[in-house]
A and B are shown apart, each in its own frame.
Chain A
Amino acid sequence: MSAFLFTPLYGLHREYGARFAPFAGYDMPIQYRDGILAEHAHTRAKAGLFDVSHMGQAWLDGPDHTTLAAALETLCAADLLGLAPGRQRYTQWLNAAGGIIDDLMISRPEGADGRLHIVVNAARKAVDYEFLAAHVPASVKLTPRPERALLALQGPLAAGVLARLAPGFDKLPFMGVKAAEELEVSRSGYTGEDGYEISLPAEVAEAFARRLLEPPEVALIGLGARDTLRLEAGLCLYGHELSEEIDPIEAGLTWSIPKRRRVQGGFPGAARIQAALTEGPKRRLVGLKLDGRAPAREGAGIVGPDGAEIGLVTSGGFGPSVGAAIALGYVEPAFAAPGTALALLVRGKSLPASVVALPFHPHAYFRG
């Protein structure tokens, strides 16, 4: 008997020669036969298909949009009252100290008045659902949707591929959402490329994935390349850059908190977050580019010009499109400016690195 959970595409992954590893309780494909570097390059140049069905999808239903949005605005710092039908936002559930319980996508289906859809991290599903159950009023109902699979189609050719299979999504704006028959599609992703996340019933997921894989420009991509792609795109990963001890300002997520929320507060940890906004955070997430190819991994110490340790790497590895070793990490604010020369401690060696502006690889989101 296996202790693992499986996504509806497990058989397809096996057929494509996946190498599996446990992730958030699931046996997930890390790479296929071509390997992580080829899968990464394929996604940047053409279109990659990712199975992200392990992520948590759920409905939140309330009596009307205003009541539902107002209730959820007490748990995150997004503008949900102003979320238009057919639009999506990125936000974080916050704890009383302003720390991040999880980061998520929240969308309002077209035509919905009183329904929102969330996509949360696989490893935080249980925590999130418990948090929501404990904090939303009785008029708001949470309905997890484990019967749905989630596919991500990412890359410059993604729109053309999807248009041939399911017309009507090519004009969808970045962070727009649209449903058609059994598909619920958002124009978003986790690679820095144009693309979609496609929610669909688990029982049709494999057949749909096979049709997406028919054109030669589409390849199956594992979680290994998903990680190198998101790292180059400077996107945070929960459990690495984000935790209950880190607030959104430290994590460089200030852009996800609109002005009304910054001024009015009314979300957990508002005092700490408002103080960080005016006085500056105590530490700051930065991009680090190493001078050589040697990667610095999570946990590597970051050393300042005088040799004192000023922070830690939270994610690091070789950036295939950047062509150098890159890392994300937290440093004291005095060392956060791009161009600052620092060093990373790897196996007792001090590797020279510079703070660089994020993302490492330019975003190529759809801008209409």
Chain B
Amino acid sequence: MRYSQDHEFIDAAGEVATVGISDHAQAQLGDIVFVDLPEVGAKLKKGEPAAVVESVKAASDVFAPASGEVVAVNAKLGDSPGLVNEDAQGAGWLFKLKLSAPEELDGLMDDAAYADYLKTVG
């Protein structure tokens, strides 16, 4: 699993990768009440806004941690957005990307680097 500095995670299995927000990010946001997911088929560039996670207090952008085409979204979040709080990096995933430039993942943090990064952002 890899992480962006904006606290997205991306978990690649072959050319398809699962994207969501990190457990740290969900804890910071608090109770999530709505997730605005991208359309299946949307082509995203790394760093572009891809989804919006709405907590009780505010809306937060989720950026594409890598470029690719959206091939699936987590439909369960429609009725149960709280899955992101319960299991952000598991059942609370947001969308799946067919990667167009898998080498982009090399620029992201692994678990150890992300843990160190969280210490620097407090």
Residues on A facing B (Cβ under 8 Å):
19, 30-31, 35-38, 224, 228, 292-295, 297, 317-318, 320, 325, 347
A-B pairs with beta carbons under 8 Å apart, 13 shown: A19-B30, A30-B57, A35-B31, A35-B85, A37-B31, A37-B56, A224-B56, A295-B34, A295-B54, A297-B58, A317-B57, A325-B33, A325-B34
CA distance A318 to B34 in the complex (A): 9
A40 CB to nearest B CB, Å: 8
User: How many A-B contacts if CB must be within 8 Å?
Assistant: 44
The DSSP consensus for interface residues of chain A is mixed
B56–A297 CB distance below 8 A: no
Contacts of B58 in A (CB 8 A): 297
CA distance A31 to B85 in the complex (A): 15
The list of the 8 closest CB pairs from A to B, nearest first, reads: A318-B33, A37-B31, A36-B56, A293-B34, A35-B31, A294-B34, A36-B31, A295-B54
Chain B residue nearest to A349 in the complex (CB)? B36
Number of interface residues of B (CB under 8 A): 14
CA distance A325 to B34 in the complex (A): 9
Contacts of A292 in B (CB 8 A): 34
Within 8 A of A (CB), among B5-52: 30-31, 33-34, 36, 52
Within 8 A of A (CB), among B49-82: 52, 54, 56-59, 78, 81
Known: A35-B85, A224-B30, A293-B78. 4 other contacts (CB 8 A): A30-B57, A295-B33, A295-B34, A318-B34
B115 CB to nearest A CB, Å: 21
CA distance A320 to B54 in the complex (A): 14
Contact bitstring B73-117, A, C-beta under 8 A = 1, else 0: 000001001000100000000000000000000000000000000
Instruction: Given A293-B81, A297-B59, verify A318-B54 contact (CB < 8 Å).
Output: yes
Chain B residue nearest to A318 in the complex (CB)? B33
B36–A224 CB distance below 8 A: no
Instruction: Given A295-B54, A317-B56, A347-B52, verify A35-B34 contact (CB < 8 Å).
Output: no
